[in-house]
Amino acid sequence: MKLFSPRLRAQIKKEMLSILRDPRARIILIGPPLVQLLVFSFAATLEVKNASIAIYDRDGGPWAQQLAEDLAAASFVGPVYNFHRPEEVKSAIEQRRVLLAIEIPETFSRDLSAGRTASLQVIVDGRRANSGQVAYSYVEAVAANLGAKIHPPGPRTDLVAVRHWFNPNLTYRWFVVPSLAGILAMFTSLMVTALSIARERELGTFDQLLVSPTTPMEIIVAKTVPALVIGTTLGMLMVLAGSIFFVPFTGSVPLLVATMMLFILSNVGVGLMISAICATQQQAILGAFAFAVPTILMSGFATPVENMPKVLQWIAEAIPLKHFLVIVQGAFLKGSPLDAAWANAWPMALTAVATLGAATLLVRSRLH
Amino acid sequence: MSAEPAPGAQAAAPSGSRRRRLLALVRKESLQVVRDPASLIIAFVLPVVLLFLFAYAVSLDIQKVRIGLVLEGDGASAHSLAAAFSGTRYFAVTPARDRREVEEALVTGTLKGYVVIPQDFERRLNSGGTLGSPVQVVTDGSQPNTASFVASYAQGVIQYWLAASGGGLAASTGKRTVPAIEVRPRFWFNPEIESRRFLVPGAIAIVMTMIGTLLTALVLAREWERGTMEAILSTPARIGEILVGKLLPYFVLGLVATLLSAALAVYVFGVPLRGSWLTLLLLSATFLMPALGQGLVISAIAKNQFIASQLALITGFLPAFLLSGFLFEIDSMPAPIRAFTYIVPARHFIAALQTVFLVGDVWSVMLPNMAKMLALGAVFFVIARLKTRKSLDV
């Protein structure tokens, strides 16, 4: 029993060769994505470490010194600048030399010794409000600890018991690595297919297909199979690397392979559509970028989908990456919950059918 | 190394004809850009789409997070606390009576966490901690940001509820309800902490990277691929002239796209521009040096559009997105990666751009960043010059 006819198999082989023949292309398909996975998984962190802070101590009393010591010893703090004039604080913030500045008022130690509530002003660089907010909450915690030391019971800290499922220490890397595997596999499969038809049209070899007995369906299948194989292999390689170096993999490998193939297929469909529309490779690459960039932004990688306006959330339902991120995160951390996999697999299947169908129609119209 | 003609051959050409040659080259390349719909789409449509997404879709601002609320207790204060959770604008609450009802939703991701108010809530609250915490919060840690948001705001809701209604309860156990040290934040330049204000400059840098690096790399790689580069190299035009002719149209295109993006940011999306337009333009012009230089280097190395696009993606676009400091804080990265970010031109551009938008023309920020961008640009141009020889590859 043969899955494909000899003619189709020959075409698939030819497409495979046209991608992998160039040794530089072979290297660039596999090497850089793995390096990127490594670099970006370390770089993409929302935890704040090694932050430069300024302390403007107008008090000079014992508690102010204690607070300064506690802050300097805190794990999120890098370089500490001690300032004595408000202008120094202003220019340090303006020039981005510090993320935040802590102003200790004159009455700080006196208030604390007298049992009154002492206040503390924290000035944060609003250009970096993202990490500034995180660092600010760390400062709050340092201050609360000191306060509790000075006036023992302090506010109740036993009110809430918090447990984080799937990722008890909220390691951000556990979120980034699976997501990056999806994003990088998407880029590769998209790029490989976006170029395929456009290159034939640019070089004129597409015209040869006109006089050959090939059908549009065969052309699409022949261009889909190599991209599917390369994309899925790359995606699973990254999952493997991720699970060795960074994140525990708790889910089901066969389920992930199957859904990964659906995900790659839906991107291949988009890539082929772009490729059939564009007359040159340059247009096709730009088209692929024009699709990929908004896709990443709306996929829930940068920020949660729920934060977006309703209309954009509906559009996001059609984005394969959005669904695959849920699946791949589930496969790493949640033991591949079946209903979540199913709920996100069928939208991808739908996109795959729609885009591959549209690509076939586009190729047919180009052939006639 | 270089098979350039002897200097004497060049000196023979009078300066007037050289200028005409350069103008002709610039004119030819400009026509090519204007005739190509793809370049124009990237320059004018993509900025609009990207800015729109950065202004609305990529929001780090606090929104209603879907959580479950398991009310096991039936006392008056348990109900009052449950009402406090339902009333807050930070959470969209799904009520439940049994925690098994919401556990499944946490696994599938429809809920981001749940809060349990247990049967003996009142007794735990008044016991002063000997019976365990009165409230339990469970979050979906697979999305760490949302998880920590749920945990800290749940704590906030309870503290607030206790201060408002249960103050007597806490006082009776002899606890202070006010902290000994009160911390007050002030976010300079962005008091409402709108993420749009620091994300939009990042969007501009990404648009510029696409035009400067990706588009340039592709256009030149195509010339190498088709052999037209070699054809033009065989003319009397000097390499410098050829490169200037190729890059100038993209330089102008990049500046126009920046102005368009900035105008959209200021007049449509309400991002303040506290510095001057002139400084903004100057910064963008400076950034285009390393961006175009990088595109040039990529095309000279790749000489093939597929490889050029991958290189531009890997060395240009993704670093501008992830290593430039507008989404992820550079100081928090490990030292080797931190060192690497210095050669990402977008890093210096975004630092200066955020300052121009939110602070003003602070030259002590602009000048060092501009100097670094120019230095990177110079390095890229030297590499490109070395890689582009007036000879055919053997």
Q: Encode pLDDT of B317-374 as tens digits.
A: 888 888 988 888 898 898 999 999 999 999 999 999 999 999 989 899 999 999 999 9
Tell me if chain B has a CB within 8 Å of the CB of A304: yes
CA distance A318 to A296: 13
Structure confidence by residue, pLDDT tens digits, B248-289: 988 998 899 889 999 999 998 888 999 999 999 999 999 999
* B362 in contact with chain A, both atoms CB, cutoff 8 A: yes
pTM reported for the whole predicted model: 0.84
Which residues of A fall within a CB distance of 8 Å from B214? 285-286, 289
Average pLDDT over chain B, rounded to an integer = 83
For A:272-291, CB contacts with B below 8 A are 278, 280-283, 285-287, 289-290
When pLDDT is averaged across residues B38-50 and rounded to a whole number, the result is 80
pLDDT at A331: 92
pLDDT at A203: 82
Would you call A303 an interface residue with chain B, using a CB distance cutoff of 8 Å?
Answer: yes
User: Tens digit of pLDDT for each residue in B60-95?
Assistant: 665 688 899 999 878 888 888 899 898 888 888 999
CB B307 within 8 A of CB A29: no
Tens of pLDDT, residue by residue over B130-142, are 777 889 999 998 8
Interface of A with B in 345-364 (CB under 8 A): none
Sign of CA dihedral A123, A127, A128, A130: positive
Distance CA B318, CA A38 (A): 13
**Interface probe with A: pick from B59, B329, B361, B393, most Cβ of A within 10 Å:** B329
pLDDT band at B392 (very low <50, low <70, confident <90, very high): low
Query: What band does B23 get if pLDDT is binned at 50, 70 and 90?
Result: confident
Check pLDDT > 90 for residue B58. no
Amino acid at B381: F
Chain B residues within 8 A of A151 when measuring between CB atoms:
176, 180
A216 sits in the region (left: phi over 0; alpha: psi -120 to 50; else beta) called alpha
A263 touches B at CB < 8 Å: no
* pLDDT > 80? residue B150: yes
* Angstrom distance (rounded) from CA B164 to CA A187: 52
The pLDDT of residue B8 is above 70? no
Q: How confident is the model at residue A240 (pLDDT cuts 50, 70, 90)?
A: very high
pLDDT tens sequence across B162-173: 877 755 454 444
- pLDDT confidence bin for A57, thresholds 50/70/90: very high
Give how far Cα A329 sits from Cα of A251, A294, A333, A347, Å.
9, 21, 6, 17
Residue A2 pLDDT level (bands cut at 50, 70, 90): low
Using a pLDDT cut of 90, give the percent of chain A over it: 46
Q: Which H or E run includes B135?
A: strand B135-140
**For A155-194, how does the pLDDT look when each residue is reduced to its tens digit (9 = 90+)?**
566 778 888 999 998 888 899 999 999 999 998 899 889 9
More confident residue, B393 or A320: A320
The verdict on a CB contact (< 8 Å) between B180 and A168 is no
CA distance B46 to chain A (A): 7
Mean of pLDDT values over B109-121: 89
A141 and B CB contact within 8 Å: no
pLDDT value of position B18: 76
pLDDT of residue B393: 52
| Edge-to-edge strand ranges of the sheet holding A100-104 | A77-83, A51-57, A100-104, A118-125, B181-188
Q: Quick: pLDDT tens for A348-367.
A: 999 999 999 999 999 888 87
pLDDT > 70: percent of chain B = 89
Does A294 contact B63 at a Cβ distance shorter than 8 Å? no
- Which of the residue ranges A63-72, B34-43, B66-75 has the most confident prediction, judged by mean pLDDT? A63-72
Nearest chain A alpha carbon to B218: A282
**Enclosing H/E stretch for B184:** strand B181-188
Nearest residue on chain A to B121, alpha-carbon basis: A159
Residue A154 confidence (pLDDT) above 70: no
Residues of A in contact with B359 (CB under 8 A): 94, 127
ipTM for the assembly:
0.83
- Residue B174: pLDDT over 80: no
**CA-to-CA distance for B276 and B256, rounded, in angstroms?**
16
Q: Which of B350, B238, B228 is nearest to B299 (CA)?
A: B228
Strand positions, DSSP E, chain A: 51-57, 77-83, 100-104, 118-125, 160-165
State the DSSP H helix or E strand holding residue B322, giving kind and residue range, or none if neither. helix B318-322
- Please tell me the distance from the alpha carbon of residue A140 to that of residue A76, in angstroms, as a whole number: 13
Chain A with chain B: Cβ pairs closer than 8 A:
346
pLDDT above 50: residue A224 = yes
Minimal Cα–Cα distance from B99 to chain A, Å?
Answer: 14
Inter-chain touch B144–A297, beta carbons under 8 Å: no
Q: Summarize the confidence of residues A101-108 as an average pLDDT.
A: 93
Give the gyration radius of chain B's Cα atoms: 29
Q: Which B-chain residues 273-302 have CB contacts (< 8 A) with chain A?
A: 302
Whether the per-residue pLDDT at A34 is higher than 60: the answer is yes
Between B128 and A74, residue with greater pLDDT:
A74
- The C-alpha atoms of residue A225 and residue A13 are separated, in whole angstroms, by 9
**Mutation for A interface: B165, B181, B218, most A CBs within 10 A:** B181
Rg of chain A over all Cα atoms, to the nearest angstrom: 28
Query: Are the Cβ atoms of B141 and A168 closer than 8 angstroms?
Result: yes
**Residue of A281, A294, A306 lying closest to B49 (CB–CB):** A294
Amino acid, res. A150: I
Report whether B209 contacts B43 (CB < 8 A).
no
The alpha-carbon gap from A1 to the nearest alpha carbon of chain B, in Å, equals: 37
Smallest Cα distance from A233 to chain B, Å: 18
Mean pLDDT of B197-209: 86
B180 neighbourhood in chain A, CB within 8 Å: 112, 117-118, 146-148, 150-151, 154
C-alpha dihedral, B284 to B286 to B287 to B292, nearest 10°: 110
Cβ of A160 within 8 Å of Cβ of B61? The answer is no
d(CA B289, CA B197): 26
Torsion of CA A298, A302, A303, A305, to 10 degrees: 30
| Residues on chain B touching A159 (C-beta within 8 angstroms) | 125, 133-135, 155, 158-159, 162
Given an 8 Å threshold on Cβ–Cβ distance, is A333 in contact with B144?
Answer: no
Is the per-residue pLDDT at A303 higher than 60? Answer: yes
Average pLDDT for A96-103: 93
Q: Are B144 and A122 in contact (CB < 8 Å)?
A: no
Dihedral over alpha carbons A280, A282, A285, A286 (to 10 degrees)? -110
Which chain A residues in 13-52 lie under 8 Å from chain B, judged by CB atoms? 22, 24-25, 28-29, 32, 36, 39-40, 42-52
Q: State the pLDDT at residue B62.
A: 59
Cβ–Cβ gap A334/B107 under 8 Å: yes
Q: Does B46 touch chain A (CB under 8 A)?
A: yes
Which among B143, B177, B188 has CB closest to A175?
B143
What is the distance in angstroms between the Cα of A60 and the nearest Cα belonging to chain B? 16
Among candidates B354, B289, B345, B293, which has minimal Cα distance to B320?
A: B345
Q: Which residue out of A303, A313, A332 would a mutagenesis test of the B interface target, given it has the greatest number of B Cβ atoms within 10 Å? A: A303
